Amino acid sequence: MSIHDVPLSQVDARTLDALVANAVAESRYLDYKERLPGDSDADKKEFLADVTAFANSAGGDLIYGVKERRESGKATGEPEEVVGLPDIVLDDVLLRLDATLRTGMNPRIPGLVLHPVLRPPGPPCLVIRIPRSPHGIHMVTYKGSSRFYGRGTNGCFELDWGQIRSGFPASRGRARTHPAVPRGARPPAPGRRDADPDG
């Protein structure tokens, strides 16, 4: 079961409950987050990495407000409970995340949607739908960063320079209509090794 092919207009509280009931684990197309990204620079960079990783790969959904099941202190990737996002002002959250998305990457991702899921009387959740981008490859540029990310079955990972130069999405079978590497991209620091967890 995956919700990535379900129209967002049909994604509601029952949809999220079904993910828990069916123990639908995280995948290349799905990531659960119990809490929203914080406002620190590190939190914003992690958020942008998660989003661009989906766009640079096959697209997918980030779902905020779902607690992961843990075993021996380690996250399993399976949902345990829909807890929602308590004590938030939804409009403020949407404005804050949208501002980070508009200014923190190059190029912007067309078709990305922030979709609140209301759960009265409980707190809402938030689904961010990230399409597979037609724009080649997206770079995280927040605060002078120049990093590229992809997503595999084991989650988000940083692309190495060979993957960046070859246009990582093209290697996944996607036609490229724009330059693969945005202007200003720099190779990763010498000695850094980043591998696709898909092998």
Find all residues with CB under 8 Å of 181, minimum gap 6, and list them.
Answer: 136, 137, 139, 164, 165, 167
Question: What residue ranges define each of the domains in the chain, with the CATH number in brackets?
Answer: 8-135 (3.30.950.30)
- Cα gap 93→95, rounded to integer Å: 5
- Cα gap 39→15, rounded to integer Å: 29
Regarding predicted confidence, which is higher, 131 or 176? 131
- In one-letter notation, the amino acid at residue 117 is V
Asked whether the whole model's pTM tops 0.75, one would answer yes
> Structure tokens of 192?
């850094």
The string of pLDDT tens digits covering residues 146-197 is 999 999 988 899 998 888 877 665 434 443 333 344 555 554 444 433 344 4
Q: Are strands 30-33 and 60-64 parallel, antiparallel or unpaired?
A: parallel
* Half-sphere exposure for 53 (CA within 13 Å, toward CB): 26
The string of pLDDT tens digits covering residues 14-38 is 999 999 999 999 999 999 999 999 9
- Cα gap 16→24, rounded to integer Å: 10
Strand stretches in 40-166, DSSP E: 60-64, 66-71, 74-82, 105-106, 113-119, 122-130, 139-140, 147-152, 155-158
